[in-house]
Amino acid sequence: MPDSPTPTPPLKGRGFDSFDVFTTRPDTLFGASFAAIAPDHPIATAFAQTTPGLADFIAECRTTGTAAAEVETAEKKGFDTGLSVIHPLDPTWRLPLFVANFVLMDYGTGAVFGCPAHDQRDLDFARKYALPVERVVAPSPEEASAPIHDEAYTGPGRLVNSRFLDGMEVEQAKAAVIARAEAEGWGTGTTVWRLRDWGVSRQRYWGTPIPIIHCEGCGPVGVPKDQLPVVLPEDVSFDIPGNPLDRHPTWKHVDCPSCGKPARRETDTLDTFVDSSWYFIRFASAPADKPFDRATAEKWLPVGQYIGGVEHAILHLLYARFWTRALKHIGKIDIAEPFTGLFTQGMVTHETYKDPAGAWLAPDEVANGKVIATGAPVEIGRIEKMSKSKKNTVDPGPIVDQYGADAVRWFMLSDSPPERDLPWSEAAWRFIQRLWRITEGADGEGEDRDLDRKLHKTIAGVAADIEALSFNKAVAKIYELANAIEKAPATASRATAARTLIRLVAPMVPHIAEEAWARAGEPGLIADALWPEADPALLVDDEVTIAIQINGKLRDTLTAPKGAPKEALEELALGSDKVIRLLEGKAPRKVIVVPDRLVNLVA
């Protein structure tokens, strides 16, 4: 613990008993060496009247602006108020109070505590104003007192020099401080969201044109409605770096819609995120004359299931929510949240390869650790997210050409743990062939209750798996059903199962399913057909597993028809080899039978 700095008059008792500090690192409280408030914080305003120099400092801060980007790049400056505040975890510990230009009134509470060892901004500030720098998180026990130099330590580790927090992991320590703050009533844990400033204009061709015309006399003028949409020119060249719209000879030259004098179109385009922030509304309703029809959009939205990579979670999803809320706020649509479900799928990854000269190689240029063309050894690199620049992409095109898109789809859904290589196997293609034969079906007569049950369990199971996005599990169940159909004798049940199988595979292999559907003489497209209904009566097994206990201890199990009478179960239990052996030939003193569940023999 750093010693308290030179005694300074406490803030307490001067009109302010306390103020709220917002922090994302309550775990580092024992590394605090100062507190800072925003220039427009009420305390700063109040003391500006009586503290020489403070009013000038606040005025100076105002001139540098308070946008996040401006604050981040501006030199960090502080003004020592000469006052001190009491550390929340130790009433004898005083921290000097600064007014600082990097603390924003509209972020958190407009007040922070500084822990220089574990926050770069705080460290820069502490060095400038000669404040203590005390490490409270160490990546290893040996580094418990390793000095902090020019770089703050923001990584994981355990707490050190932190009294009751010592030895805890960072997350554990955060929870411990929050728990104590809540118990003592001086703080509370909270989750806050912050949308960063979003510059929506881009200096590039792809993107929606920004419908603004710049006029020397009138300033920026909106493109009149009857001239919308602004269409991008197609005769552009990408030979030179930069925005081709800016270089285009005619596109940007237009007359001002307001005064008619020569003017200039905005050549920046909108960030593609702008479109993806509301396209789902347009998907739900796409009239020709306006962005969307409110009633239709509200009928379909919100989107039930959003599927995307985790990289969407911090930008696109927040922008889309912001956009939706803004539309609601201005009364354009009555939907607060655009998506009700989120599923983040894994990335498609692959090993990377390099030749001896260090050039990237594509997987199909490599075999057995050598470059196919030259025989040179290949350097096998890390498994990384597929990217064209590293050439670690697998192109499904040639496989689609040879085996068809359905086979590739089936293969990808069957099982492709994304971290594993995707060696194409013909198994998927062979299954498509089998599917074609099985679904040809031959009519038969009579029932096959086992197959009926298998079919209805598969219908229910595949539906649930698809809902849960567990496609590989659905595929596994379909394989089992296909096997059962192939083994079953020709009955009416078998014909029904074969025909239903077509509907079960349709979402995954639509082409072959449509063909099989048409061949079976079914009306219309399978794409329009309803999902088959599972009969609840057939989801229940006819047989149950019965536990056999001796003196309450599980000794054996047996399979019996559902609803078998007590006497039958008792007889089956007493006939078990294990029971005979354990009872040593004696009869039990008492037999308790719970139908469909268990037989307990009291010896």
Residue 264 CB, shortest distance to Zn ion, in Å, is: 11
Nearest C-alpha neighbor of 27 from the set 143, 189, 141 = 189
Peptide bond into 302 cis (omega under 30): yes
Smallest separation, CB 255 to Zn ion (Å): 8
Does the footprint of Zn ion cover residue 217 (CB under 5 A)? yes
**243 vs 258 by CB, closer to Zn ion:** 258
Kindly state whether residue 212 participates in binding Zn ion, applying the rule CB under 5 A.
Answer: no
Question: Closest distance between Zn ion and the C-beta of residue 330, in Å?
Answer: 28
Residue 560 one-letter amino acid: A
> Which of 253, 282 has the CB closer to Zn ion?
253
Q: Which residue has 């707490």 as its token pair?
A: 159
Confirm or reject binding of residue 215 to Zn ion (CB under 5 A): yes
Q: Which is nearer to Zn ion, 9 or 262 (CB)?
A: 262
Nearest distance from C-beta of residue 525 to Zn ion, angstroms:
56
- The 3 state secondary structure assigned to 304-361 is CCEEECHHHCCCHHHHHHHHHHHHHHCCCCCCCCCECCEEECCCCEEEEEECCCCCEE
**Residue 318: closest CA among 407, 194, 174:** 194
Rule CB under 5 A: choose which of 64, 258, 272, 549 binds Zn ion.
258
CB-CB contact of 449 with 542 (8 Å): yes
Of 210-218, 420-428, 470-478, 536-544, the segment contacting Zn ion by CB under 5 A is 210-218
Q: Give the DSSP letter of residue 303.
A: B
CA atoms within 13 A on the CB side of 469: 11
DSSP 20-71: ----S-GGGGGG--EEEE-TTSHHHHHHHTTSTTHHHHHHHHHHH--SHHHH
Residue nearer to Zn ion on the CB measure, 9 or 217: 217
User: Residue 209's beta-bridge partner residues?
Assistant: 269
Q: Binding to Zn ion by residue 579, rule CB under 5 A? A: no
Which of 216, 415 has the CB closer to Zn ion? 216
Which of these segments, 115-123, 248-256, 422-430, 593-601, binds Zn ion (CB under 5 A)? 248-256
DSSP 462-529: HHHHHHTT-HHHHHHHHHHHHHHHHHS-S-HHHHHHHHHHHHHHTTTSHHHHHHHHHHTT-SS-GGGS
Residue 342 CB, nearest distance to Zn ion (Å)?
Answer: 47
Q: Quote the least distance from Cβ 249 to Zn ion, whole Å.
A: 22
Count of Cβ atoms closer than 10 Å to residue 72 Cβ: 10
Q: Name the minimum Å distance from CB 227 to Zn ion.
A: 15
If 0-12 CB within 10 Å is exposed, 13-18 middle and 19+ buried, where does residue 459 land? buried
Span near Zn ion by CB under 5 A; candidates 9-17, 147-155, 258-266, 531-539 = 258-266
How long a stretch of residues is the chain? 603
Q: Residues 46, 146, 179, 259: which binds Zn ion (CB under 5 A)?
A: 259
- SS3 per residue for 455-476: HHHHHHHHHHHHHCCCHHHHHH
520 counts as binding Zn ion under rule CB under 5 A: no
User: How far, in Å, CA of 555 to CA of 546, rounded?
Assistant: 11
| Closest distance of CB 257 from Zn ion, Å | 8
**Segment interacting with Zn ion, rule: CB under 5 A, options 93-101, 109-117, 178-186, 252-260:** 252-260
| Contact window for Zn ion (CB under 5 A) among 79-87, 216-224, 268-276, 349-357 | 216-224
- Residue 238 backbone class (left: φ over 0; alpha: ψ -120 to 50; beta: rest): alpha
Stretch touching Zn ion by CB under 5 A, among 207-215, 296-304, 321-329, 357-365: 207-215
d(CA 415, CA 431): 14
- Rounded Cα distance between 459 and 505, Å, is 11
Of the residues 85, 256, 505, 550, which one makes contact with Zn ion according to CB under 5 A: 256
One residue of 148, 181, 218, 582 binding Zn ion per CB under 5 A: 218
Choices 202-210, 218-226, 405-413, 539-547 (CB under 5 A): range interacting with Zn ion: 218-226
Query: Which region, judged by CB under 5 A, interacts with Zn ion, from 108-116, 173-181, 213-221, 285-293?
Result: 213-221
- Residue 261 or 578: the one with the smaller Cβ distance to Zn ion is 261
Residues that bind Zn ion (CB under 5 A): 215, 217-218, 256, 258-259
